[in-house]
């Protein structure tokens, strides 16, 4: 009981020291880290590394791209073998800023007005980063012992599909934890998410023709079996639209409006110049899918359907489209993957976070699904129960005069103070394994 009283006292300090919290967020905003252009997070990441090191974290910092390093801080628990571990994850990059945007002030010179902090990244997601870092600082300053391990991942590249979180998960043999919180924009909802994958569909002719040959291709008696790859791509697009409508009718997921799973023909490239029949055409698509689906599954569905469409065409059947899926960067290779993330409302970490949120806010926690995507799916793919939970709302994310409500940021920080402490003070449950090839004294941790 004494420890819980201490936690309540620390939560009061969040109110008393809110100027320090807002100063921390303003400091993060002042680091210009828009992506694109990216390659600009080193100074901001060094700030985080130094901050965590001052809280006695060991630091791993390494470059993903020149000028864009990941930072992962590790705080070893006092009894990590017997207590639950936690990952807190956030990205340091923010949405790009166009020169013609009508900001009240420079986007990277934060201002406080009417109870809000305004600046690029305030909602997405430097607000979440500031709240989490300040919560860690308060726990350390007040000598609150954490028996379980605490890991803080400050990653790069989320805004352009560069999956700094994936790289953090691959580092040193993979990420392990009993629970993870992605502190991205969720308006303090506890969320899962659908997924996104981009892909390129290519149609290429084995033969190349002068544009003067077009009449022989399309009129009776021309006797030239050829086609424009651009025109044939129209049939592929129609096939994608048919599949998209079929998905809208046959697939659904609680919390999403029908038809949220979409196939967007985003960019089309084709032809050499006006003196040629187009012998190649490439279509860049973006596919949104539900939390209970995988990117491999939806890519396979699209390929199978479009290949059947092509096989019904007299020319395409001999010039079948090819597919390239995903990628590691929208900047480097024009591709990205965001795995979906499904949450279990009965999972222990979800239950604890919901309970702490309710105690701090006085309002029942909302468990739902994000209409956008985050890096959370990569942690989920590692087998780590993961949720998205952060301050700010999507109406402000990426917007001109992006802002976050200070009152919500304070509430969020209080919730994280208490959740970090309670989760890392939660004992692992040990169950006896029973199998003929195991000794009777073997145990599993859950």
Q: Write out pLDDT tens, residues 287-315.
A: 999 999 999 999 999 999 999 999 999 99
One fold for 2-193+341-424 and 197-325:
no
| 432 pLDDT more than 60 | no
| β-strand partners of 118 | 111, 403
Average pLDDT over residues 21-33: 98
* DSSP H/E element including 153: strand 150-155
Higher pLDDT, 427 or 3: 427
Q: Which of 204, 205, 226, 203 is nearest to 214 (CA)?
A: 226
Query: What's the mean per-residue pLDDT of the chain?
Result: 94
How far apart are the C-alpha atoms of 219 and 216, rounded to whole Å? 6
pLDDT given at position 2:
55
Q: What is the pLDDT of residue 174?
A: 82
Give the strand pairing for 367-370 and 430-432: unpaired
Average pLDDT estimate for 198-209: 95
Cα dihedral: 46, 420, 393, 338 (round 10): 70
User: SS3 for 253?
Assistant: coil
Q: Answer yes or no: 93 catalytic.
A: yes
For the chain, how long is the longest CA-to-CA vector? 93
Does the pLDDT value for residue 431 go beyond 90? no
Catalytic site residue from 93, 159, 178, 187: 93
Instruction: Determine phi and psi for 171, rounding to 5 degrees.
Output: -65, 135
Residue 158 bears catalytic tag: yes
Q: Where are the domains of the chain?
A: 2-193+341-424, 197-325
Confidence of residue 216 (pLDDT cuts 50, 70, 90): confident
Alpha helices, DSSP H, located in 171-212: none
> Top-level CATH class of 2-193+341-424?
alpha beta
Q: Which fold has domain 197-325?
A: Alpha-Beta Plaits (3.30.70)
Instruction: Name the least confident of 94-98, 207-211, 380-384.
Output: 207-211
Euclidean distance between CA atoms 426 and 82, whole angstroms: 9
Of 71, 81, 79, nearest to 47 by C-alpha is 71
The catalytic position among 158, 184, 187, 393 is 158
pLDDT at residue 444 tops 90? no
Q: Are 120 and 132 in contact (CB under 8 A)?
A: no
């Amino acid at each position: 009981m004494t420890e819980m009283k201490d936690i309540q006292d620390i939560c009061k300090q969040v109110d008393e020291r809110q100027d320090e919290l807002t100063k921390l967020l303003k400091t993060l905003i002042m680091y210009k880290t828009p992506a694109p252009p990216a390659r600009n997070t080193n100074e901001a990441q060094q700030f985080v590394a130094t901050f965590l090191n001052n809280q006695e974290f060991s630091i791993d910092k390494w470059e993903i791209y020149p000028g864009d390093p990941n930072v992962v801080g590790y705080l070893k628990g006092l009894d990590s073998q017997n207590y639950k571990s936690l990952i807190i994850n956030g990205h340091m990059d923010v949405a790009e800023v166009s020169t013609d945007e009508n900001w009240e002030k420079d986007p990277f010179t934060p201002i406080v007005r009417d109870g809000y902090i305004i600046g690029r990244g305030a909602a997405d997601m430097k607000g979440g980063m500031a709240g989490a870092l300040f919560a860690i600082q308060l726990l350390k300053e007040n000598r609150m012992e954490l028996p379980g391990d605490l890991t803080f991942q400050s990653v790069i590249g989320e805004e352009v599909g560069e999956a700094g979180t994936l790289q953090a998960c691959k580092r040193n043999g993979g990420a392990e934890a009993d629970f993870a919180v992605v502190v991205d924009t969720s308006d303090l909802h506890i969320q899962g998410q659908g997924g996104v994958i981009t892909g390129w569909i290519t149609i290429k002719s084995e033969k190349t023709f002068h544009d003067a040959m077009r009449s022989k291709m399309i009129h009776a008696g021309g006797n030239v079996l050829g086609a424009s790859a651009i025109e044939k791509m129209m049939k592929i697009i129609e096939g994608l639209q048919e599949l998209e409508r079929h998905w809208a009718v046959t697939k659904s997921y609680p919390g999403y409006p029908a038809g949220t799973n979409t196939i967007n023909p985003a960019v089309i490239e084709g032809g050499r110049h006006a003196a040629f029949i187009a012998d190649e055409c490439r279509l860049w698509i973006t596919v949104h899918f539900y939390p209970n689906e995988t990117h491999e599954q939806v890519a396979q569905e699209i390929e199978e359907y479009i290949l059947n469409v092509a096989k019904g065409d007299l020319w395409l059947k001999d010039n079948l489209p090819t597919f390239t899926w995903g990628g590691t960067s929208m900047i480097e290779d024009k591709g990205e993957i965001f795995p979906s993330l499904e949450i279990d409302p009965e999972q222990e970490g979800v239950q604890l976070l919901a309970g702490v949120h309710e105690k701090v806010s006085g309002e029942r926690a909302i468990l739902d699904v994000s209409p956008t995507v985050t890096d959370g799916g990569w942690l989920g793919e590692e087998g780590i129960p993961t949720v998205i939970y952060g301050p700010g709302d999507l109406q402000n994310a990426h917007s001109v005069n992006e802002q976050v409500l200070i009152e919500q940021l304070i509430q969020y920080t209080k919730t994280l103070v208490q959740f970090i402490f309670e989760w890392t003070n939660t004992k692992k449950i040990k169950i006896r394994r029973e199998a003929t090839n195991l000794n009777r004294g073997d145990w599993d941790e859950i």
